[in-house]
């Protein structure tokens, strides 16, 4: 299998590189830790390692060292499409190299051969109460797949530590292949009452399959959006909750299913994956209040009313980034190229023009620019996916594409169980006195 071959060839040099670094510089200090950081969610402490992606405060996410526009330009695309194959992105995240068309299509073929979801997963989802949150169904479904874990089987059969990554790669491909099927099934069941199992077609790519299984009207357009959405949401370093939770649970040698289900549970939180639905909600509030796109003055006042009401302006600001999120720009350009006259898109553009100035005037937010969530829901809304609580499931399908390469590499480089040290408040008070 193509990813296996490529990684197996890269591994000896990587292992040597890490071994030498730790052996020769193991005692070198990387960062200091302050009391505010210990109490403040470990913000900014440099204590994780990943070679898959890096968030540069000044330019945004880099996938394997490449910025979003470069990735979108260089990855091979399905014929007639403008947005690349998701399989190509997976190849890039897994191996660090831009694939050619045949290599990207090879990953797509792997997915097609692994997309069959066992019947018990559908049965389990169908048996849940109607009001169950789609993220609960999604996370449960991932756990329900665990019985097929090749890593768990290999581990129990006593496979050597050096080879853990191989069965983890198998699990990662199996899992990522099945997620679009499960997500689309949850969507059709929960909002349309359809119980039929979606079928993944080997003749279509990941995004096109997803668009068809979701049953949206403009399949071609939505396939492009699905590819873009999954690519943009795949990875954002290791410290965000979904990536870190996946890594942490995986570090106990729990397999990819246990680990990613944990990541999804974190993604479900309102401070993480839920933000996109709040942004769309805010835009819709503006649209409904003014019966369309308001004047600059009215929007300026509305934004100040939000702030004066003690609320944040959703979709703006970022913990790490200090510029407009390139993932926002990629989505805005996508919309402007396809449906520039859409009311919510025109509104989003006006907000982009007005809100950063308001936030600057207020003087609190370190970054007054929009983040990825400021527009992602708007694009889904345009294509008719208007069930807000489903948006985090879409994020989850994308996020799996980033956290699983991290898991495979963590196994390949023998990363140990994660175990930071705790202190009591009294101990920290002692530290403060010293």
Orientation of helix 391-412 relative to helix 219-232, angle to 10°: 50
Q: How far is the CB of 372 from ligand HAX (least distance, A)?
A: 6
- Owner of token pair 């299998």: 1
Residue 399 CB-half CA count within 13 A: 31
Closer residue to ligand HAX in complex, CB, 121/355:
355
Closer residue to ligand HAX in complex, CB, 154/275:
275
Name the site residues for ligand HAX (rule: CB under 6 A): 272, 275, 307, 312-319, 359, 364-367, 371, 373
Indicate the DSSP class of residue 83.
S
Closer residue to ligand HAX in complex, CB, 225/275:
275
Closer residue to ligand HAX in complex, CB, 17/311:
311
C-beta atoms surrounding 288 within 10 Å: 9
Inter-CA distances, 143 with 120, 149, 256, 297, 326, Å: 12, 10, 9, 50, 33
Query: Any catalytic annotation for residue 244?
Result: no
CA distance 371 to 368: 9
- Euclidean distance between the first and the last CA atom of the chain, given in angstroms as a whole number: 57
Q: How far is the CB of 299 from ligand HAX (least distance, A)?
A: 15
Inter-CA distances, 188 with 57, 211, 264, 294, 330, Å: 39, 12, 20, 35, 28
Closer residue to ligand HAX in complex, CB, 10/59:
59
Q: How far is the CB of 147 from ligand HAX (least distance, A)?
A: 31
Judge contact between 322 and 367, C-beta under 8 A: yes
Query: Any catalytic annotation for residue 318?
Result: yes
Q: How far is the CB of 84 from ligand HAX (least distance, A)?
A: 23
Q: How far is the CB of 238 from ligand HAX (least distance, A)?
A: 14
CA distance 205 to 139: 24
Query: Any catalytic annotation for residue 342?
Result: no
Closer residue to ligand HAX in complex, CB, 275/410:
275
The contacts of residue 211 (CB under 8 Å, 6+ apart) are 219, 220, 222, 223, 226
Q: How far is the CB of 22 from ligand HAX (least distance, A)?
A: 31
Give per-residue burial for 321-359: e unless 16+ CB within 10 Å, then b.
Answer: beebbbbbbbbbebbeebbeebebbbbbbbbbebbbebb
* Catalytic site residue from 272, 298, 342, 389: 272
Positions marked catalytic: 272, 318, 373
């Amino acid at each position: 299998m193509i990813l296996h071959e490529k990684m197996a060839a890269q591994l000896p040099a990587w292992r040597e590189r890490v071994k030498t670094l730790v052996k020769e510089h193991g005692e070198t200090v990387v960062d200091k830790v302050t009391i505010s950081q210990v109490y403040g969610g470990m913000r900014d402490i440099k204590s994780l390692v990943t070679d898959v992606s890096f968030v540069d405060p000044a330019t945004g996410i880099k996938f394997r060292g490449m910025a979003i526009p470069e990735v979108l330009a260089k990855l091979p695309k399905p014929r007639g499409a403008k947005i690349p194959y998701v399989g190509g992105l997976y190849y890039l995240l897994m191996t660090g190299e831009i694939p050619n068309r045949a290599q990207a299509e090879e990953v797509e073929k792997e997915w097609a051969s692994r997309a069959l979801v066992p019947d018990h997963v559908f049965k389990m989802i169908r048996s849940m109460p109607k009001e169950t949150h789609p993220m609960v169904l999604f996370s449960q479904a991932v756990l329900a797949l665990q019985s097929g874990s090749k890593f768990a089987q290999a581990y129990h059969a006593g496979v050597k530590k050096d080879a853990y990554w191989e069965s983890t790669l198998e699990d990662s491909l199996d899992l990522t292949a099945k997620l679009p099927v499960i997500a689309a099934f949850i969507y059709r069941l929960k909002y349309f009452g359809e119980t039929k199992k979606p079928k993944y077609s080997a003749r279509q790519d990941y995004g096109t399959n997803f668009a068809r299984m979701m049953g949206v009207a403009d399949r071609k357009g939505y396939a492009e959006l699905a590819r873009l959405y999954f690519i943009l949401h795949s990875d954002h370093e290791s410290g965000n909750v979904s990536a870190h939770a996946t890594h942490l649970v995986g570090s106990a040698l729990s397999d990819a299913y246990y680990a990613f289900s944990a990541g999804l549970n974190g993604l479900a939180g309102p401070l993480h994956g839920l933000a996109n639905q709040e942004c769309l909600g805010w835009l819709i509030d503006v649209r409904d209040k003014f019966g369309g796109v308001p004047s600059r003055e009215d929007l300026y006042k509305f934004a100040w009313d939000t702030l004066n009401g003690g609320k944040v302006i959703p979709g703006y600001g970022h913990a790490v980034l200090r510029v407009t999120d390139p993932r926002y720009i990629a989505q805005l350009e996508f919309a402007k190229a396809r449906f520039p006259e859409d009311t919510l898109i025109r509104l989003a553009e006006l907000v982009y023009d007005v809100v950063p100035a308001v936030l600057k005037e207020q003087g609190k937010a370190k970054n007054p620019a929009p983040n990825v969530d400021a527009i992602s829901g708007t694009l889904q809304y345009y294509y008719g996916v208007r069930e807000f609580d489903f948006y985090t499931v879409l994020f989850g399908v994308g996020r799996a594409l980033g956290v699983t390469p991290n898991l495979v590499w963590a196994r390949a480089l023998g990363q140990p169980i994660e175990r930071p040290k705790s202190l009591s408040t009294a101990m920290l008070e002692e530290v403060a006195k010293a």
